[in-house]
A and B are shown apart, each in its own frame.
Chain A
Amino acid sequence: MSPTLGLLAVVGTALLTLLVGAYGLRISRTTSDFYVASRTVTPWWNASAISGEYLSAASFLGVAGLVLAYGADMLWFPVGYTAGYLLLLALVAAPLRRSGAYTLPDFAEARLESLPVRRLASVLVVLIGWLYLLPQFQGAGLTLRTVTGAPRWVGAVVVAVVVLVNVLAGGMRSITLVQAVQYWLKLTALAVPVVFLLGAWHADGAPSPADPVPPTVRAATTVDVKADVTLRVRQPVTVRVDGTVDGRRVADAELPLAPGRHTVLEGSVLTLPAGATVPVAERLPAADGAAWARPLEGGTAHPLYATYSLAVALFFGTMGLPHVLVRFYTNPDGRAARRTTLTVLGLLGVFYLLPTLYGALGRLYTPELLLTDRTDAVVLLLPARLVGGVAGELLGALVTAGAFAAFLSTSSGLVVSVAGVLSQDVLGPLTRRGVAAFQIAAVPAVIVPLLLALLASGLGVASLVGLAFAVAASSFCPLLVLGIWWRRLTSNGAMAGLLVGGGLATVAVLVTIVAGPIGGWPGTLLAEPAAWSMAAAFAVMVGVSLASPRRVPQGVNLTMVRLHAPESLDVDRGDWNPERR
């Protein structure tokens, strides 16, 4: 793709974001405006905004990359991202809106009447928010490098700055407009190129990615190795090398690679001849097309457990994501919250048909990404590779714009949520509340994950997001579900459950990030912790609550009326208000 067009796409998306944000700025005045857009957003716009905010780098780039690398099992990612909203709809949407909470800590405090639980919830919101921001910044770095060749940190810094400016200037009202516009931008950016891609694939004789052959490049392909990589070669292949392979410096010469492991150092350039089998990075499974296309055979350890645990994390984690919840307050009432969520289910379902197609086409036309373990780039590279010419360049620019929309929208939502919690629960007691504290809090909300993203690089975008979901499923999911439906939940139970579930999932996440892939059952259990950590959280929350019956909140009956009574009913719902704490 030409760097100029790609840059134009990036700059255009950033400008669009800032302009729509500035338009909304004229309407934002008070703290309440900043947080929740004063509840004047219609369900259709709100559903577009929720979807726009939700479709992150993981959805836009990561899913296709995972499908390319691991095959059919990865289809559970988009399914889980969508099914999470069905669970959210059926278990929490309307009561959560009726609670009147802006944030998860607000809900925890309102339901359990306990400040310690509120504080712990705040810590978890910041943790999950940062964990989720990390891959957004990483994805931005990857995208800008793929498009323009700029170093990794540039893209991350660009996204961080745009988000910070926008959040500082406009807050949630402008964010709502920005998010809604960006859903449609993202959908267009994947849907339009896919028409051309499928046309080109058809003209190519519609080859199947599921043929029982290893991934093979169709034409001679040059690969820039941007980070040291260990390859596993299964069939002897001769490549043209300019760089360092197995410790030997090769200056632009043919080099036969025998079956086995080979290390290629950063800065090397490999050229695979047409029809060559792609040597695959050691970290990725080396499945042939037939095994790739079949579930449970992608080459990961304990695929059945991994599939179930991933599904648990995604299904139950969605409701616990901080940037998802804050949107529900912008619905006028519980009924609208339900209808909005239903619309979101439809919008997500349409979008998630597309990344799978990119992943499958990528297996055919960009398999060399398996060599460098950069499969997240497949969405960006396919249009130019498959369509070519000016049309391919333009489609590539469109996809790049969509990717940046994904980083910007999700990051904005997360930063608003994290900054909201930081300003209320950390800065609030220190300084005066309101807009100033919110703006101050936005700075660490952006800077900390940006620094983490610049330091860490190992895991794929979608895997990192999966870990954020696992922490959310093991902490906020039990808090919300039990808090809404079970009167006997106590502050002690909630506290213990959040600590155990959130703690176990966080430790598993940290071990996976720091130590990298570990083999066997321990590695699988740590890489996919949700199944056991969520079960532990529920068990502890229920057990400790039953053991501390005297700590049931005094106002629980009134809270239940507030959560469940339809708005048309004229009853006393208590006087709790998150703004008058």
Chain B
Amino acid sequence: MSHGAPPVRVRVTRARRPAARVGPVRVTRDIDEQTALGEVWMRSLVRTQLRLSVSVVGAVLVVLGGLPLAMAVAPQLRSARVAGVALPWLVLGLLVYPLLLLAGWLYVRAAERTERDFATLAQRDVAATAERPPP
């Protein structure tokens, strides 16, 4: 792996778009050259994504993690019945799975939106993006 900023940069991703002639400077160049601005952009992207991940994981852990505690504190929940099925079996054997899928779907949607916004903003001219804070 190359360290720091090597004298010759080697691009391994796809070619720049045809518009890549000498022109307005973009944030992608700041990211490439690891300028302070580029760092701010990358850190803000990572922070946004981390916040999203922690919210989704946290919410699921609180809901799932709350179940044993609730059953320990309120023993009547252990033998409660809903529609003829024992509540713990209904929740752990059935309802948990659509809940996990829903959480995953919400996460994927939000994470993709963040990346789309980031890519759109980062590939604009700096002049145009200057008025907008990074996502």
Q: Residues of A with Cβ closer than 8 Å to B? A: 72, 75-76, 79, 82-83, 85-87, 89-91, 94, 110, 113, 210, 290, 293-297, 304, 307-308, 311, 315, 335, 338-339, 341-342, 345-346, 348-350, 352-353, 356, 360, 485, 554-555, 557-561, 564-576
Contacts and interface: CB of A to CB of B under 8 A. Distances in A.
Interface string B92-135: 11101110110111011001100110110011000000000000
What's the dominant secondary structure at chain B's contact region?
Answer: helix
A297 B76 CA distance: 12
Interface string B61-75: 100110011011000
Contact of A561 (B42, B50, B52): B42
A571 B32 contact: yes
B16 A91 contact: no
B79 to A, nearest CB: 6
A565 B88 contact: no
B89 A356 contact: yes
B37 interface: no
Contacts of A75: 88-89, 92-93
A575 B1 contact: yes
B31 A554 contact: no
Nearest to A355: B93
Contacts of B13: 567, 570-573
Given A295-B78, A353-B93, A557-B34, A569 B107 contact: no
Contacts of B78: 72, 294-297
B4 to A, nearest CB: 6
A572 B9 contact: yes
A473 to B, nearest CB: 14
Q: Name the residue among B10, B97, B116 with the largest chain A CB count within 10 angstroms.
A: B97
Given A345-B100, A571-B13, A293 B34 contact: no
A181 B44 CA distance: 42
A308 B97 contact: no
B46 interface: yes
A563 to B, nearest CB: 8
Contacts of A341: 104
Given A89-B104, A89-B107, A338-B112, A574 B68 contact: no
Given A75-B92, A304-B72, A566 B119 contact: yes
Contacts of B123: 569-570
Given A79-B64, A296-B78, A561-B42, A571 B28 contact: yes
B39 to A, nearest CB: 7
A486 to B, nearest CB: 9
The 9 closest A-B pairs by CB, nearest first: A349-B97, A75-B92, A566-B115, A294-B78, A554-B3, A90-B53, A576-B1, A572-B32, A356-B93
B115 A335 contact: yes
A555 B119 CA distance: 22
Contact of A296 (B68, B98, B100): B68
Chain B interface size range: 35 or more
Given A91-B57, A353-B97, A561-B42, A574 B1 contact: yes
22 contacts: A72-B86, A75-B88, A85-B100, A90-B52, A90-B57, A294-B78, A294-B79, A315-B61, A335-B112, A335-B115, A342-B105, A353-B93, A353-B97, A356-B89, A554-B3, A561-B31, A567-B13, A568-B115, A572-B10, A572-B11, A573-B13, A575-B12
Contact of A485 (B32, B50, B122): B50
Contacts of B112: 335, 338
Contacts of A113: 1, 3
Given A72-B89, A290-B79, A346-B101, A570 B28 contact: yes
Given A89-B108, A304-B69, A572-B32, 15 more contacts: A82-B100, A83-B60, A86-B57, A86-B104, A89-B104, A293-B79, A293-B86, A296-B71, A296-B72, A297-B78, A342-B104, A352-B97, A555-B1, A555-B3, A575-B12
B1 A86 contact: no
B100 A349 contact: yes
B66 to A, nearest CB: 11
A342 B103 CA distance: 10
Contacts of B108: 89, 338-339, 342
Interface in B3-47: 3-4, 9-14, 16-17, 28, 31-32, 34, 39, 42, 45-46
Contacts of A568: 115-116, 119
Contacts of A353: 93-94, 97
A555 B3 CA distance: 5
Contacts of B89: 72, 75, 293, 356, 360
Given A89-B107, A564-B42, A569 B122 contact: yes
Nearest to B61: A315
A79 B88 CA distance: 12
Given A72-B88, A294-B79, A558-B34, A575 B64 contact: no
Nearest to A94: B111
A559 B3 CA distance: 10
A320 to B, nearest CB: 15
A10 B46 CA distance: 49
Contact of A557 (B28, B39, B69, B119): B39
Q: Name the residue among B34, B107, B115 with the largest chain A CB count within 10 angstroms.
A: B115
Contacts of A360: 89
Contacts of B115: 335, 566, 568
